[in-house]
């Protein structure tokens, strides 16, 4: 082993030694060659670098040189004439800052109008039914204040509006047009009004009665109190007079004075009572007056007499009260005079008493108790005093007499004044009373007059109503006639219309019915036709099916060909086909187009033909050179030689068009072989048909067989296609 290894090494070495000498020349050659090649390449590269055109030429002509040159020199330089785009790029204009459109600040939010001013309450003022109940039109004027436009924004406006509205509420303007309301409504309204009136009057009367009763009571009370006061005053004055003038015993005097005081007290109490009662009465009278005024304000006619009566009562009461008050006042004034007189008397007495007491201090105060206790001095003094007093009094009297007139005048004046005052008061009161009386009278008269007038008006109105009813009746009659005529016309027209419509409808119905009938009939017909055609189609389908079956049988029988054995004679199958298409000319024609040979003998299969061809091919090759002109044995020899020496492709795809050089038998045979291998018997036959001469004679029967097969197959295919078509045509798609 080692030896074996060494030997190659040594042999190599030897070889190397042996070739060493020779290697110098060889290496020289190699080196020279390499140098030349590299020099050439380097020179080419350098020159290409210098001369661009040369480089382009080299790159164009020598493959892969562009890669080499690119590697060595870098990519080819661009033409400097072209503008350099990248450097001189226009700077992109700075993007415009979008000015944000300043949204205008939304206008101050529209202040919603302050909560819509509450609609002023619609005050429906019922205009009282001044008109009589007979005339239907009653004006109810709804007063709707002018609606305020609340959409105006500002609050101010709204306020103004508010105020305006309030102002307008005062002057209600009718916004709805007055419209006459139906009778029932009117009647209802009237009834309602009457009811209301009744209610009101009832209430008013009740209130009046109440207030009358109360005021009457109060007045009576007052009058009673006044009477009592009067009595008390009179009593008091009487008592006072008595006390002044009567000369009675001291005990009785004291009794008298007590009585007087009692009477005074009585008088004061009576007076107070009277005053209180008077005030109460006045109050009640005032209330009565207010009630009366209220009820007067209602302005309802039925209340008026009550009001009137109440007023009269009031007046009477007032009159009585005033009378009593006057009486009391006169009594009071009398009492005042009397009291004044008594005051004077008392004053005089007191003075006298003082004088007496001054004269006679030991005399007791009560000069009535003086009798029996006085001394002569005292008596003298007293008499002197009395004389002096008498003198004084005489003088005073004289003075008084002198001043009497003045005093009287003054007193008269005073009296006159007082009388005047009293007179004035009396006159005033009397005037008032008279005024009241007159007014009441007037009112009474007015009421009476009103009643009379109302009665008259009622009669007139009744007359008018009668006239109206007559007129209305006449008008109604006329209207009735007119309306009847109109209604009849309308009716007749409507009837006509209805009739025409009815007729139209019936006609339409009839038409529709006939249409429907027609359509139904047509459809029925269609259905029948369809069924018939179906039947026919089924028949056809059945026939087609039979045909197809027979054709299938025929085509199946074609397949029964085994290798080198023809198929069964196709006569039976063809007969079956002919039977199944007795009335079909096309199929009959086709069926009769089957070649006789195939019917009698059968056809060969394609496989057998193919196999046969392969064996024929060699024979055909061998006699390829023999034809009419060349058919000696020498030619046979040459032909054999040619076949032996000439090689062609066993299979070659035939071109779509045969040229003259393709008509060479060898080529033809290879084409035909190719076709046969690819199952194209027809083309193979066609190609084989191009053979000429002996080769043709040799393949003649094969050709005939192939033709037969092709023909049969074509016919069968046609029949099958036809059967399929017919079958497809007759089958109905599901």
Partner 1 sequence: MADEHARKWDRCLADTAVKTVTGLGVGIVFSLIVFKRRAWPLSFGSGLGLGMGYSNCQHDFRSPYLIHGRMVKVSAQCNFHCLSEVCDTRSHHAA
Q: What are phi and psi of 573, to 5 degrees?
A: -60, -40
- How many CB atoms neighbour CB 551 within 10 A? 31
Interface residue with partner 1, options 122, 592, 632, 650 (CB under 8 A): 632
Interface residue with partner 1, options 310, 335, 603, 626 (CB under 8 A): 626
State the Cα angle at 681 between 679 and 685, rounded to 5°: 150
Interface residue with partner 1, options 375, 428, 560, 615 (CB under 8 A): 615
Q: How far is the CB of 698 from partner 1 (least distance, A)?
A: 5
Taking the least distance from each CB to partner 1, the nearer of 50 and 634 is: 634
Q: How far is the CB of 609 from partner 1 (least distance, A)?
A: 13
Taking the least distance from each CB to partner 1, the nearer of 88 and 633 is: 633
Q: Quick one: tokens of 279?
A: 């005030």
Q: Tell me the C-alpha distance between 707 and 688, whole Å.
A: 11
Region from 91-99, 127-135, 623-631, 655-663 binding partner 1, contact rule CB under 8 A: 623-631
Interface residue with partner 1, options 604, 666, 671, 702 (CB under 8 A): 702
Nearest to residue 256, comparing CAs of 378, 133, 368?
368
Strands (E) located in 226-332: none
Q: Does 604 bind partner 1 (CB under 8 A)?
A: no
Whether 111 contacts 155, CB under 8 Å? yes
Taking the least distance from each CB to partner 1, the nearer of 613 and 671 is: 613
Taking the least distance from each CB to partner 1, the nearer of 232 and 626 is: 626
Taking the least distance from each CB to partner 1, the nearer of 577 and 698 is: 698
Interface residue with partner 1, options 84, 88, 90, 633 (CB under 8 A): 633
Region from 334-342, 356-364, 430-438, 630-638 binding partner 1, contact rule CB under 8 A: 630-638
Q: How far is the CB of 61 from partner 1 (least distance, A)?
A: 58
| Residue carrying structure tokens 């005529």 | 485
Q: Does 698 bind partner 1 (CB under 8 A)?
A: yes
Region from 281-289, 506-514, 544-552, 692-700 binding partner 1, contact rule CB under 8 A: 692-700
- How many CB atoms neighbour CB 310 within 10 A? 25
Region from 217-225, 418-426, 563-571, 632-640 binding partner 1, contact rule CB under 8 A: 632-640
**411-470 residues near partner 1, rule: CB under 8 A:** none
Q: How far is the CB of 644 from partner 1 (least distance, A)?
A: 16
Nearest to residue 614, comparing CAs of 577, 651, 568, 581?
651
Q: Does 262 bind partner 1 (CB under 8 A)?
A: no
Q: Tell me the C-alpha distance between 647 and 554, whole Å.
A: 43
Region from 25-33, 474-482, 555-563, 698-706 binding partner 1, contact rule CB under 8 A: 698-706
Q: How far is the CB of 648 from partner 1 (least distance, A)?
A: 20
Q: Does 699 bind partner 1 (CB under 8 A)?
A: yes
Q: Does 668 bind partner 1 (CB under 8 A)?
A: no
Q: Quick one: tokens of 590?
A: 């086709």
Give the number of residues in contact with partner 1, rule: CB under 8 A. 18
Q: How far is the CB of 628 from partner 1 (least distance, A)?
A: 5
| Residue carrying structure tokens 């005037």 | 431
Taking the least distance from each CB to partner 1, the nearer of 280 and 696 is: 696
Q: Tell me the C-alpha distance between 720 and 713, whole Å.
A: 10
Taking the least distance from each CB to partner 1, the nearer of 301 and 631 is: 631
**What is the helix (H) or strand (E) element at residue 141, kind and residue range?**
strand 141-143
Q: How far is the CB of 568 from partner 1 (least distance, A)?
A: 24
Interface residue with partner 1, options 12, 116, 701, 731 (CB under 8 A): 701
Region from 15-23, 48-56, 516-524, 696-704 binding partner 1, contact rule CB under 8 A: 696-704
Q: Tell me the C-alpha distance between 288 and 216, whole Å.
A: 10
Taking the least distance from each CB to partner 1, the nearer of 356 and 698 is: 698
Whether 726 contacts 581, CB under 8 Å? no
**634-663 residues near partner 1, rule: CB under 8 A:** 636
Q: Tell me the C-alpha distance between 69 and 193, whole Å.
A: 128
Three-state SS string over 293-312 comes to HHHHHHCCCCHHHHHHHHHH
Whether 355 contacts 385, CB under 8 Å? yes
Taking the least distance from each CB to partner 1, the nearer of 628 and 661 is: 628
Q: Does 614 bind partner 1 (CB under 8 A)?
A: no
Interface residue with partner 1, options 623, 668, 676, 706 (CB under 8 A): 623
Per-residue burial over 593-630, b if 16 or more Cβ lie within 10 Å, else e, is: ebbebbbebbbbbbebbbebbeebbeebbbbbbbbeee
Taking the least distance from each CB to partner 1, the nearer of 189 and 610 is: 610
Alpha helices in 559-664 (DSSP H): 571-580, 585-592, 596-600, 606-622, 633-645
Q: Tell me the C-alpha distance between 120 and 146, whole Å.
A: 10
Q: Does 672 bind partner 1 (CB under 8 A)?
A: no
Taking the least distance from each CB to partner 1, the nearer of 613 and 722 is: 613
**559-588 residues near partner 1, rule: CB under 8 A:** none
Whether 205 contacts 306, CB under 8 Å? yes
Region from 61-69, 287-295, 553-561, 618-626 binding partner 1, contact rule CB under 8 A: 618-626
Q: Tell me the C-alpha distance between 51 and 62, whole Å.
A: 16
**What is the helix (H) or strand (E) element at residue 123, kind and residue range?**
strand 123-125
Q: What are phi and psi of 174, to 5 degrees?
A: -70, 125
Region from 61-69, 110-118, 444-452, 691-699 binding partner 1, contact rule CB under 8 A: 691-699
Taking the least distance from each CB to partner 1, the nearer of 558 and 698 is: 698
Q: Tell me the C-alpha distance between 281 and 283, whole Å.
A: 5
Whether 331 contacts 235, CB under 8 Å? no
**343-382 residues near partner 1, rule: CB under 8 A:** none
Q: Does 79 bind partner 1 (CB under 8 A)?
A: no
Q: Does 616 bind partner 1 (CB under 8 A)?
A: yes
| Residue carrying structure tokens 């080692």 | 2
Name residues whose C-beta falls within 8 Å of residue 254's C-beta, 6 or more positions apart in sequence: none
Q: How far is the CB of 581 from partner 1 (least distance, A)?
A: 37
DSSP class of residue 375? -
Q: How far is the CB of 703 from partner 1 (least distance, A)?
A: 9
- Tell me if residue 174 falls in helix, strand or coil: strand
Taking the least distance from each CB to partner 1, the nearer of 72 and 611 is: 611
Q: Does 628 bind partner 1 (CB under 8 A)?
A: yes
Whether 719 contacts 591, CB under 8 Å? yes
CA 180 to chain centre: 37
Interface residue with partner 1, options 133, 444, 450, 697 (CB under 8 A): 697
Helix axes 665-677, 606-622, angle to 10 degrees: 160
Task: List Cβ<8 Å contacts ≥24 apart for 248-252.
Answer: 250/366, 250/368, 250/369
Phi-psi region of 435 (alpha: psi -120 to 50; beta: other; left: phi over 0): alpha
Q: How far is the CB of 607 from partner 1 (least distance, A)?
A: 18
Q: How far is the CB of 622 from partner 1 (least distance, A)?
A: 9
Q: Does 631 bind partner 1 (CB under 8 A)?
A: yes
Taking the least distance from each CB to partner 1, the nearer of 365 and 644 is: 644
- How many CB atoms neighbour CB 674 within 10 A? 19
Residues of the shown chain interacting with partner 1 in the complex, contacts defined by CB under 8 A:
615-616, 619, 623, 626-628, 631-633, 636, 694, 697-702
């Amino acid at each position: 082993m080692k030896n074996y290894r060494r030997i190659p090494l040594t042999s190599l070495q030897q070889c190397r030694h042996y070739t060493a000498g020779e290697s110098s020349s060889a290496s020289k050659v190699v080196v020279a060659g390499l140098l030349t090649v590299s020099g050439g390449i380097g020179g080419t590269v350098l020159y290409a670098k210098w001369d661009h055109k040369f480089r382009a030429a080299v790159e164009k002509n020598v493959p892969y040189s562009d890669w080499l040159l690119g590697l060595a020199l870098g990519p080819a330089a661009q033409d400097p004439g072209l503008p350099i785009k990248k450097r001189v790029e226009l700077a992109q204009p700075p993007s415009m800052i979008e000015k944000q459109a300043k949204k205008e600040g939304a206008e101050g939010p529209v202040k919603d109008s302050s909560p819509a001013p509450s609609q002023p309450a619609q005050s429906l003022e019922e205009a009282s039914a001044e008109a009589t109940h007979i005339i239907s039109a009653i004006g109810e004027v709804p007063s709707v204040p002018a609606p305020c436009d609340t959409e105006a924004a500002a609050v101010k406006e709204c306020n103004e509006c508010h105020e305006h509205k309030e102002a307008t509420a005062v002057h209600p303007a009718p916004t709805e047009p007055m419209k006459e309301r139906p009778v029932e409504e009117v009647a209802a309204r009237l009834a309602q009004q009457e009811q209301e009136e009744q209610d009101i009057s009832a209430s008013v009367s009740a209130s009046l009665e109440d207030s009358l009763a109360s005021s009457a009571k109060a007045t009576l009370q007052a009058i009673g109190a006044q009477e009592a006061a009067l009595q008390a005053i009179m009593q008091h004055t009487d008592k006072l007079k008595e006390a002044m003038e009567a000369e009675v015993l001291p005990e009785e005097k004291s009794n008298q004075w007590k009585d007087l005081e009692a009477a005074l007290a009585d008088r004061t109490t009576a007076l107070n009572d009277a005053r209180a009662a008077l005030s109460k009465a006045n109050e009640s009278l005032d209330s009565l007056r207010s009630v009366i005024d209220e009820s007067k304000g209602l302005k309802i006619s039925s209340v008026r007499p009550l009001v009137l009566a109440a007023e009269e009562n009031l007046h009477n009461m007032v009159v009585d009260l005033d009378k009593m008050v006057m009486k009391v006042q006169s009594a009071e004034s009398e009492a005042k005079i009397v009291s004044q007189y008594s005051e004077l008397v008392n004053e005089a007495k007191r003075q006298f008493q003082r004088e007496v007491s001054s004269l006679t201090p030991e005399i007791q105060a009560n000069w009535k108790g003086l009798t029996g206790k006085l001394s002569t001095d005292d008596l003298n003094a007293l008499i002197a005093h009395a004389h002096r007093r008498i003198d004084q009094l005489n003088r005073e009297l004289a003075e008084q007499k002198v001043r009497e007139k003045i005093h009287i005048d003054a007193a008269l004046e005073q009296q006159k004044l007082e009388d005047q005052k009293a007179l004035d008061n009396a006159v005033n009161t009397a005037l008032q009373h008279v005024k009241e009386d007159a007014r009441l009278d007037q009112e009474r008269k007015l009421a009476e007059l009103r009643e009379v007038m109302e009665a008259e008006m009622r009669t007139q109105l009744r007359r008018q109503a009668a006239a109206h009813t007559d007129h209305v009746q006449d008008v109604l009659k006329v209207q009735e006639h007119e309306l009847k005529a109109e209604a009849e016309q309308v009716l007749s027209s409507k009837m006509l219309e209805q009739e025409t419509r009815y007729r139209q409808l019936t006609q339409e119905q009839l038409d529709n019915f006939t249409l429907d009938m027609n359509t139904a009939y047509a459809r029925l017909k269609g259905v029948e036709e369809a069924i018939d055609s179906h039947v026919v189609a089924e028949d056809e389908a059945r026939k087609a099916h039979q045909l197809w079956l027979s054709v299938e049988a025929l085509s199946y029988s074609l397949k029964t060909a085994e290798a080198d054995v023809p198929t069964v004679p196709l006569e039976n199958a063809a007969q079956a086909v002919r039977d199944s298409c007795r009335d079909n000319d096309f199929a009959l024609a086709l069926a009769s187009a089957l070649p006789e040979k195939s019917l009698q003998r059968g056809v060969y299969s394609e496989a057998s033909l193919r196999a046969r061809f392969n064996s024929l091919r060699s024979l055909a090759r061998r006699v390829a050179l023999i034809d009419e002109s060349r058919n000696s044995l020498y030619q046979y020899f040459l032909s054999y030689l040619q076949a032996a020496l000439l090689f062609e492709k066993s299979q070659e795809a035939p071109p779509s068009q045969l040229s003259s050089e393709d008509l060479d038998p060898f080529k033809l045979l290879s084409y035909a072989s190719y076709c046969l291998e690819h199952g194209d018997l027809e083309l193979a036959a066609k190609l084989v048909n191009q053979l000429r001469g002996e080769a043709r004679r040799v393949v003649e029967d094969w050709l005939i067989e192939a033709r037969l097969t092709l023909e049969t197959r074509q016919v069968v295919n046609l029949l099958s296609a036809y059967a399929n078509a017919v079958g497809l045509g007759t089958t109905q798609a599901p």
